[in-house]
Amino acid sequence: MKKLVLASRSPYRSELLQKLKIAFLTCSSDIDESAKPSESGEQLAIRLAIAKAEAVAKKHPNHLIIGSDQVAVHRHKQLCKPGNRENALRQLTEQSGHAVKFHTGLCVLDSASGKYLTALDTCTVYFKKLSVNQIQHYIDREQPYDCAGSFKSEGLGIALFEKIDSEDPNALIGLPLIKLVNLLEQFDYPVL
């Protein structure tokens, strides 16, 4: 079987992939993640997942490359990682009482043949109506500055939600494992 490479240095994606108990390498893709004009969140997530896999395939010519990217959308606007407390406070205040969609694009690419398969997972997060005090308390405790949407659902961020609609809870963290297992099986890479 070919070796796997996760086209990401994200500790969150790496931790998720470890759940499958399979050996893999990680490699940063270092691509431009800017959206194109009028590109939807779904289109951007898939395009970036493919681009990440293709960039890493050049360094690993006989591997299965896993590319993944997530795009959060609130009121037709793409959300970025906040980077600091002020931006996180603004994002969470705007999201309070609303639904946010998280589109996670996935690509598995055989670097020897160039063949790739893709999948898309869309998860909808419904935020509680939150007070400024609740938002500030959350931000100060978890400091989610490197997470799109300004929360970590795998941690205290779960307390911000009324509900989550998803086919795969792992997708919200950044790697839809159910869809990944299905794609790997199509490349004759059995996980079980």
Question: Which among 69, 146, 165, 168 is annotated as catalytic?
Answer: 69
pLDDT of residue 9: 86
pLDDT of residue 58: 94
Contact 5, 27 (CB under 8 A): yes
Q: How far apart are CA 167 and CA 80, in angstroms?
A: 23
Does the active-site annotation cover 32? Answer: no
Q: What are the domain boundaries of the chain? A: 3-186
Domain with residues 3-186, CATH architecture: Alpha-Beta Complex (3.90)
Please name the residues in contact with 98: beta carbons below 8 A apart, sequence gap of 6 or more.
74, 75, 126, 127
pLDDT of residue 169: 86
pLDDT of residue 22: 96
pLDDT of residue 150: 94
Name the β-bridge partners of 98.
none
Structure tokens at 119: 């999948």
**Per-residue pLDDT in tens (0 to 9) along the chain, 192 residues:** 899 999 998 898 999 999 999 999 999 998 998 999 889 999 999 999 999 999 999 999 999 999 999 999 999 899 989 999 999 999 999 999 999 999 999 999 999 999 999 999 999 999 999 999 999 999 999 999 998 899 998 899 999 999 999 999 899 988 999 999 999 999 999 999
Give the type of residue at 84: N
pLDDT of residue 107: 98
81-107: burial string, b at 16+ Cβ within 10 Å, e else:
bbeeeeebbebbebbbeeebbbbbbbb
Contact 4, 24 (CB under 8 A): yes
